[in-house]
Amino acid sequence: MRILTLGGWLMALTLLPMAYGELNLIPQPAHAVPGQGKLKIDQSFRIALTGYREPRLERAAARLIEHLESKTGMPLTRNLSSDAAGATLEISTTAASSPVQKLGEDESYRLEVGPERARLTAPNPLGILRGLETFLQLVEADKDAFAAPVIQIDDQPRFRWRGLMLDASRHWMPADVVRRNLEAMAALKLNVLHWHLSDDQGFRVESKRFPKLQEMGSDGHYYTQQQIREVLEFARERGIRVVPEFDMPGHTTAWFVGHPELASAPGPYTIERKWGVFDPAMDPTRDEVYRFLDAFIGEMAALFPDDYFHIGGDEVNGKQWDRNPQIQTFMREHSLKDNIALQAYFNSRLQPIVTEHGKKVIGWDEIFAPTLPKDIVVHSWRGQKSLADAARLGYMGILSAGYYLDLMHSAAFHYAVDPVENEAAGLNAEQQARILGGEACMWSEYVTPLNVDMRIWPRAAAIAERFWSPQEVKDVASMYRRLAVVSRDLEWRGARHASSHHLMIQRLADDHPVGPLATLSDVVEPVKEYAREEARQYTSFTPLNRMVDATRPESDVAREFGNLVDRALAGGSDASSSRDQLRHWLTLWRANDAALEPALESSFLLQELIPLSKDLSALGSAGLEALEYLANGRKPDAAWLEKQQAFLDGAKKSRAELLLMVAPHVEKLVQTAGRP
Amino acid sequence: MRILTLGGWLMALTLLPMAYGELNLIPQPAHAVPGQGKLKIDQSFRIALTGYREPRLERAAARLIEHLESKTGMPLTRNLSSDAAGATLEISTTAASSPVQKLGEDESYRLEVGPERARLTAPNPLGILRGLETFLQLVEADKDAFAAPVIQIDDQPRFRWRGLMLDASRHWMPADVVRRNLEAMAALKLNVLHWHLSDDQGFRVESKRFPKLQEMGSDGHYYTQQQIREVLEFARERGIRVVPEFDMPGHTTAWFVGHPELASAPGPYTIERKWGVFDPAMDPTRDEVYRFLDAFIGEMAALFPDDYFHIGGDEVNGKQWDRNPQIQTFMREHSLKDNIALQAYFNSRLQPIVTEHGKKVIGWDEIFAPTLPKDIVVHSWRGQKSLADAARLGYMGILSAGYYLDLMHSAAFHYAVDPVENEAAGLNAEQQARILGGEACMWSEYVTPLNVDMRIWPRAAAIAERFWSPQEVKDVASMYRRLAVVSRDLEWRGARHASSHHLMIQRLADDHPVGPLATLSDVVEPVKEYAREEARQYTSFTPLNRMVDATRPESDVAREFGNLVDRALAGGSDASSSRDQLRHWLTLWRANDAALEPALESSFLLQELIPLSKDLSALGSAGLEALEYLANGRKPDAAWLEKQQAFLDGAKKSRAELLLMVAPHVEKLVQTAGRP
């Protein structure tokens, strides 16, 4: 058991023991047969590449060496052999992958670790890339040395499309942010980066054909075509497809700053600074719009090699269309009865353009119409029903409903969502096969390059396991244990989710000790779903420098505290030690406000935390009193119970856009103490 | 007070309060007159560049914006104005700096912060660069907003040469390591990177003229000339000179792998893998050696624009010379009575070559001979006496004795060393002015790119203050307080000293909780001086992945614990609270071994820590017992005292190349308790 917090370690060490014997693999492989013994990994480690050979494989082997060096601290040789004799790890494949990675391309591999050597085989380099990640995860220190357990793994993914969507429009995400998240994706065997490149708040790609798009629509924050090519190359090296999204016909304000002629109302336009759904939309009725899109998509289709082109299509509110008499006339003339029909018309014109440039269309639920060709992909933010409906009609789909990382749900929440459950469970096998997988979505209203990693990792690793591992892999406790391990490893791979949390908490603490602030941060979570929108008027200029921005989406301490409460109340053999540990936490929290107060009083950024800090200390007191009642068997009187409940009702409310996640667990202690 | 440790915060929060009123500036400026009020820094922050303007200034202003954004989390505008009206900070200078930064070039600036605006003026862009760092350090959060205090600062450095030497030969340091340390140097107003580029263990620069140097002498780890040009540009942007060192005639094994004809004994040679002083040395008696050096230095002189060229010259053991009959004959024929005379002869041939290529010579103590021209610089690893002797003869010098960061001394140790004290104190003003400053030295036997930042920062910041601030700035408590602040800020600038410590401790903890291991790490320090050499046979292949490599050079916890002991025993008004805090620490340590034992037992990397961990817990017990005696006024019996002293004598000994730094403080408690 391991909780990576500044404040929480004192207790963490006494929490659940690690389930020894279970491997630290995430995602769990499809089939694994453990053996006896271990393969020692020391400075004699050598890789041999046998069979088909290409530079990408050589670089992948070199990266494995680099990652093994990071993981062990041992300098290793970079020399690759082509002779299996003398090699610790033989890598062997028979043929090249597709020059442009294809949807559904074979990603299977076999990894055999013996006591003397290991062998990784796969039909193509893509499978080798996946298997190398598994091998790396197997290596750990034991009593004698670094070693990988003897095992035979036969692995392939459950879903073909395992994506992460990154919104680079609402907050700009420089190329190095994209690269370090691609590196983390590779570690989790994710295989699609869906790059949300345009929206009302920014147009983020250099168009040489229409340079006003980025020059006027991006505040100077856009990817040059050279940068994009470098990112694409970086992704291909790691077996990751990159699907660009240019959201149309809505979410297009940033296009219109430079090209108001595309809009359904006259300009001028400025870059949108607020969050939400806005009126501007492309005019579906004018041929010049399609001529523009033809030229633009032609340029982008040449830049992005993937077969798929994401056209967005979500959240067109239709207000510009309603207000434009020429559009209304057009709709009447073409018997388009409503804006849904008008958008379908738009898509019916757009799709052939995309097809003509060699791409297949993917778009959000709203684009779906049974008139579209069968090779389109429906990307559902609404749920499995959209996918099931489309699948019955022969259409493919991927799921993102339930996988929105910006909504601040727990890893367990996302882990429980399955693309082929709920409405999709009733599909026959052929229909179900049309559900290609899913994508975790990182919308960027409330993230910056500084905290975006913290919003993605490690939670997206639970989603990655859902997409890769067999459907029956569902043990939440096991997932959390392995999530903690991969979370540590991802920092070595360059993700900044842990380090940026530390940096941000220290920045908030300023000259004050960071510990008490970390203790508070460890037990709170940002408000859920869209509650931040209601809390205050955010814009793209609003500093994201408060506790809510520095705090992790999920409180490990609160989850473990809740487990302790359950064990203490269940009265099993560990009830007594659980009570001791509860007391330790509660005592820590009771004392925390006094320690934290000077910092909270001295900084305008921290003052909003004063009520939360006071409540945390009061939760400590309430919990300790409840434990005391439970221990001595006396019942509290009604006045005490009433007072505590009133306090707890308040403590559960959000303040500073944060929730005290331990409040419900303390409530359980209090209510149990009061139960006759 | 702020201690940035994983384990230590519980107590840290109750330690010394911050000395409010003192500014968080490091190095302290030469003159500062604080005023009333503050300049608010919010999103309306604007910079105006008036007066002389050049791209480097514009980029420096843009970097200030970027750093302010990092420090505050506020998005700021990047637009620079040339009109002071409406600007928050006006930057004004009159003329360009020298195209190649010169030794002694004016670095002064004036920074006036008023309640409405700030103005930074300097004779040239170099002074502006220094002043921008001061401005950045002034900005902090207060009750209402981010703000800089109203103040007038007139500042200039005490010494002209304020350097950091980085050894990229013994362990390879990629260009990004150099860059992030240059960034940190800039934050501390250091102005010379002394780049140790060749040694027995590696030749690290691409020579196009003699490519066998890097091809055969570097294991493929060398800087291309393009990379060097980029680093030089990066340094110039930050007002930092870069002085290359090619150590000659000893420390040259790596040259001889490709060019054995330069050596004083026939080859073949291989790259040296051990640490120490080795026999190979250039042959000073053959003209072809000087012809080679002429061509090589010509190439390097064109690559590195600085006026100075470091020729090394240290630690020639002379054994190859002694064994070479031709060299012995030469010495007799030229009346060179010993190897010192032979090295002086070598230097007398080398120096004109360096001069001919437009450079001035700098070299270690050993190069000094009164026959050399007066523009050479003596770089002393021996002490102020070398500098004083040279200065009396009219020679310039810089000090590195006392500033070796690899020897694991405390910041206070380095802070107490002054280039013009000791033997140099007796110099007259003219002679003293020949002592140009000094350099902190980071020799790399025991550091890798992963932990090198941790060895340099924050301790080098104390040395930077010694070089910049007035001689009378000597308050150690103030230095440590400000060091903690700058340490936090340096991570935002890209230095990895804190984050890599966390990564390495977590790697050691593996699947176990990191807290108890951090608690142990927080109270130990690596052994001092050259004790690691004696502990085991290290080579350049030895993994540096143990606790001694992950542990910080200086234990903040031990220092603060020592202060608490002193306050508790002094019996002042805070004695009682100090005793409480001592008890808290001691209780934590007493319990730590039980928490840590499972991790220590399970990993071959941690087993060596078992005795240290047991001793830490025993120190906790001993300290608590001593406190108990002190509290109740009873005296312990002789048997107790004897037992404790025997234990303490053992606990003070190094194990696993680590020292338990709290042992002497606990000893003080025990001995005081036992005193009649």
Mean pLDDT in residue range A363-369: 93
| Residues of A catalogued as catalytic | 315
Spatial distance between the Cα atoms of A587 and A578, rounded to a whole number of angstroms? 14
pLDDT at A15 over 50: no
B605 contact residues in A (CB cutoff 8 A)? 141
Instruction: Please name the residues in contact with A536: beta carbons below 8 A apart, sequence gap of 6 or more.
Output: none
Mean pLDDT in residue range B132-151: 97
> End-to-end distance of chain B based on CA atoms, in angstroms?
35
| Percentage of chain B modeled with pLDDT above 70 | 97
User: What is the chain A residue with the closest CA to B492?
Assistant: A503
Mean pLDDT in residue range B507-512: 93
CB nearest B511 (choices: A18, A73, A502) = A18
Phi-psi region of B252 (alpha: psi -120 to 50; beta: other; left: phi over 0): alpha
Of B126, B131, B187, B137, nearest in space to B160 by CA: B126
Mean pLDDT in residue range A275-291: 98
Say if CB B145 and CB A604 are below 8 A apart: yes
For A345-363, how does the pLDDT look when each residue is reduced to its tens digit (9 = 90+)? 999 999 999 999 999 999 9
> Chain B interface, mutation test: which of A173, A545, A602, most B Cβ atoms within 10 Å?
A545
Band (pLDDT 50/70/90 cuts) for residue A508 is: very high
Look at chain A and count its residues.
676
Give the pair of three-digit tokens for residue B124: 């040239």
A65 contact residues in B (CB cutoff 8 A)? none
Mean pLDDT in residue range A31-51: 96
pLDDT at B4: 30
pLDDT at B676: 83
Band (pLDDT 50/70/90 cuts) for residue B339 is: very high
Q: Hey, are the CB atoms on B7 and A9 less than 8 Å from each other?
A: yes
Q: Hey, are the CB atoms on A549 and B73 less than 8 Å from each other?
A: yes
User: What is the chain A residue with the closest CA to B4?
Assistant: A514
A21 contact residues in B (CB cutoff 8 A)? none
| Residues of B catalogued as catalytic | 315
**ω into residue B419 within 30 of 0, thus cis?**
no
pLDDT at B253 over 50: yes
Q: Hey, are the CB atoms on B14 and A514 less than 8 Å from each other?
A: no
Sign of the four-CA dihedral B585, B588, B591, B594: negative
User: What is the chain B residue with the closest CA to A602?
Assistant: B143
pLDDT at A169 over 90: yes
Spatial distance between the Cα atoms of A120 and A127, rounded to a whole number of angstroms? 9
Say if CB B239 and CB B229 are below 8 A apart: no
Only one residue has tokens 């939400």, namely: A276
Q: Hey, are the CB atoms on A491 and B503 less than 8 Å from each other?
A: yes
Band (pLDDT 50/70/90 cuts) for residue B323 is: very high
pLDDT at A56 over 70: yes
A556 contact residues in B (CB cutoff 8 A)? none
pLDDT at B11 over 60: no
Q: Hey, are the CB atoms on A595 and B14 less than 8 Å from each other?
A: yes
pLDDT at A11 over 60: no
Mean pLDDT in residue range A364-381: 94
Q: Hey, are the CB atoms on A43 and B541 less than 8 Å from each other?
A: yes
Band (pLDDT 50/70/90 cuts) for residue B248 is: very high
pLDDT at B626: 98
Residue B487 to chain A, least CA–CA distance (Å): 11
DSSP secondary structure string for all residues of A110-151: EEEE-SS-EEEEESSHHHHHHHHHHHHHH-EE-SSSEEEEEE
- pTM metric for this prediction: 0.94
pLDDT at B17 over 80: no
Phi-psi region of B422 (alpha: psi -120 to 50; beta: other; left: phi over 0): left
B544 contact residues in A (CB cutoff 8 A)? 73
pLDDT at A2: 29
Mean pLDDT in residue range A242-248: 98
3-class DSSP string for B262-316: HECCCCCCCCCCECCCCCCCECCCCHHHHHHHHHHHHHHHHHCCCCEEECCCCCC
Spatial distance between the Cα atoms of B644 and B639, rounded to a whole number of angstroms? 9
pLDDT at A131: 98
pLDDT at B627: 97
B543 contact residues in A (CB cutoff 8 A)? 43, 72-75
CB nearest A515 (choices: B12, B144, B601) = B12
Residue A21 to chain B, least CA–CA distance (Å): 13
Instruction: Please name the residues in contact with B611: beta carbons below 8 A apart, sequence gap of 6 or more.
Output: B655
Only one residue has tokens 């399955």, namely: A418
Band (pLDDT 50/70/90 cuts) for residue A245 is: very high
User: What is the chain B residue with the closest CA to A3?
Assistant: B513
For B608-667, how does the pLDDT look when each residue is reduced to its tens digit (9 = 90+)? 999 999 999 999 999 999 999 999 999 999 999 999 999 999 999 999 999 999 999 999
Q: Hey, are the CB atoms on B605 and A141 less than 8 Å from each other?
A: yes
pLDDT at B78: 87
Say if CB A532 and CB A538 are below 8 A apart: yes
Look at chain B and count its residues.
676
Q: Hey, are the CB atoms on B607 and A143 less than 8 Å from each other?
A: yes
Quote ipTM for the complex. Answer: 0.92
Spatial distance between the Cα atoms of A521 and A20, rounded to a whole number of angstroms? 30
| Percentage of chain B modeled with pLDDT above 90 | 95
CB nearest A143 (choices: B1, B145, B602) = B602
Spatial distance between the Cα atoms of A73 and B548, rounded to a whole number of angstroms? 13
Spatial distance between the Cα atoms of A616 and A622, rounded to a whole number of angstroms? 10
Of B63, B238, B234, nearest in space to B162 by CA: B238
Band (pLDDT 50/70/90 cuts) for residue A676 is: confident
**Mean of the per-residue pLDDT values of chain B:** 95
Q: Hey, are the CB atoms on B543 and A72 less than 8 Å from each other?
A: yes
Say if CB B453 and CB B181 are below 8 A apart: yes
Mean pLDDT in residue range A178-201: 98
Residue B331 to chain A, least CA–CA distance (Å): 44
